[in-house]
Amino acid sequence: MNNKSRLHFIILLVLSAGLILASCTPTPQYLRKRNIKVVKENKNIRVLILKTRFPFSIKADSRLKIRERNSGRIVYDAQKASLKIRPGKVRQGLMIESYNDVISVNGKEYRGRIEIKNTLGVLMVINHLTLEDYIKGVVPSEVPSLWPEEVLKAQAVAARTYAMYHLNKKKATQLFDLDGTTNFQVYKGKSGEYASTNSAVDKTRGEYLVHGYQPILAYFHSACGGRTIDDRYVWKGSDMPYLKGIRCTYCSISPNFNWETRISLVQMQASLAKKYPTMGKIKRIAFKRKAGRVALVQIGHSNGTINITGNNFRLMFPVKTVKSLYFVSKKSGRGLVLHGHGWGHGVGMCQWGAKGMAMQGKSYRDILSFYYRDVKVYRGDYRNVAKKSGSGFSFLNN
């Protein structure tokens, strides 16, 4: 091969390599044309951890600095501080930081910074921290820290994805991105962390699930009882292509795979009256099902009829009363006996099922691809592609 032919061969080889890389890695230009917005993995998140009209305590073992949110004026700066924050004293928003150390709020430790806002006499206490540190406080709050590592990793990816979905949807007027309760996903700060769950978060750092290059709404629940359900049968107006019901044979190990409970007519009347104070005496009740689960509850009473989604009906009772919507009912005296399966809304990843899969040798990616349809695991920030060759956008399970 002469020098000219060799040069042509090298150019062709380089161009071919470029085409191969381009086919695997969408470029920033490609993503921008499709108006795709992806949150950076080191993005900060704002989590509402306390909402109160009463005084609460702030403590730090190292230096604690408090400044006014708007003016930036420092109003407190001291070592090893322990303070009582009173609603009447907070007229302007405050930002509290402790120089890379944790801050305690009512005895619970949190990473990052603490913001306090007074909204009509109610103090909103908001934890600002990195997304990865936030996930460390979520995973052990959602699944036991002693469960198999592959479950913890699957939960880390699901929780990170769920958070990123909401970060992508947030509005500028929002005071916070998520709260730390079951309204979103449970978050207990650094006080809730364990070495095993932190390791799972670190090993999956920056990984989340995408459908059409967007983070998915990665719902999860305790146990499905044998089958999950489409999201459209649980929440009105929701119909995600990746949240489809599937048969699950892995969660039979859950203590809530089968359950039974009794609801008296008096208990039902009292629970419903909290939301519908003008309702009359209950005359009849009918459960309408979709895919085996209660999707609609019709309650006839002396003043008319109330239609309630199955999930809202479930949430009207104390936590362990109606554990899932996967039940059949039978009249018993002045009440109902429910025979059911599973615990939770039944959409997305079944956590006990994930444990069952891990016990059979399945990986966290196997678990995620089983419970979420047509998704890929994504790592990194596509905006890094233009800055660093070979880093940034990558699919891990192609």
Residue entry with tokens 């949150």: 39
The pLDDT value recorded for residue 42 is 56
Residue 13 has pLDDT above 60, yes or no: no
Query: Do the beta carbons of residue 158 and residue 368 sit within 8 Å?
Result: yes
Q: How confident is the model at residue 72 (pLDDT cuts 50, 70, 90)?
A: confident
Query: Do the beta carbons of residue 77 and residue 46 sit within 8 Å?
Result: no
Q: What is the mean pLDDT of residues 251-279?
A: 92
Residue 25 has pLDDT above 50, yes or no: no
Q: How confident is the model at residue 20 (pLDDT cuts 50, 70, 90)?
A: very low
Residue 387 has pLDDT above 50, yes or no: no
- The better pLDDT of the pair 188, 83 is held by 188
The pLDDT value recorded for residue 22 is 32
d(CA 321, CA 330): 15
How many C-beta atoms lie closer than 10 Å to residue 252's C-beta? 15
Q: How confident is the model at residue 391 (pLDDT cuts 50, 70, 90)?
A: very low
Catalogue the long-range contacts made by 141-147 (C-beta closer than 8 Å, 24 or more residues apart): 141/185, 141/186, 141/187, 141/188, 141/192, 142/185, 142/186, 142/220, 142/351, 143/351, 143/354, 143/355, 145/194, 145/196, 145/197, 146/196, 147/355, 147/358
- The better pLDDT of the pair 310, 381 is held by 310
Each residue of 40-57: b (16+ CB within 10 Å) or e?
ebebebbbbbbeeeeebe
Q: What is the mean pLDDT of residues 153-179?
A: 92
Domain spans, the chain: 44-130, 132-252+347-391, 259-340
Residue entry with tokens 């996930």: 135
How many C-beta atoms lie closer than 10 Å to residue 275's C-beta? 12
Task: Detail the DSSP E strand segments found in 106-187.
Answer: 108-110, 113-119, 122-130, 178-179
pTM: 0.83
d(CA 234, CA 311): 6
Q: How confident is the model at residue 381 (pLDDT cuts 50, 70, 90)?
A: low
Q: How confident is the model at residue 30 (pLDDT cuts 50, 70, 90)?
A: very low
Query: Do the beta carbons of residue 126 and residue 178 sit within 8 Å?
Result: no
Residue 28 has pLDDT above 50, yes or no: no
Q: How confident is the model at residue 100 (pLDDT cuts 50, 70, 90)?
A: confident
Residue 23 has pLDDT above 70, yes or no: no
pLDDT, tens digit (0-9, with 9 covering 90-100), for 247-263: 999 999 999 999 999 99
Query: Do the beta carbons of residue 324 and residue 344 sit within 8 Å?
Result: yes
The pair of three-digit structure tokens given for residue 180, joined into one six-digit string: 């730390």
pLDDT, tens digit (0-9, with 9 covering 90-100), for 329-356: 999 888 999 999 999 999 999 999 999 9
Residue 169 has pLDDT above 90, yes or no: no
Residue 9 has pLDDT above 50, yes or no: no
Q: What is the mean pLDDT of residues 6-21?
A: 38
> Which residues, other chains included, contact 318 with Cβ-Cβ below 8 Å and sequence gap of 6+?
none
> Which residues, other chains included, contact 378 with Cβ-Cβ below 8 Å and sequence gap of 6+?
207, 208, 209, 210, 213, 393, 394, 395, 396
Provide the percentage of residues in the chain whose pLDDT is more than 70.
85
- Please list the residues that pair with 286 across neighbouring strands: 298
1-5, 109-113, 173-177, 327-331, range with the lowest pLDDT: 1-5
The pLDDT value recorded for residue 333 is 87
Secondary element (H or E) of residue 195: helix 195-203
Query: Do the beta carbons of residue 249 and residue 226 sit within 8 Å?
Result: yes
Secondary element (H or E) of residue 208: strand 207-211
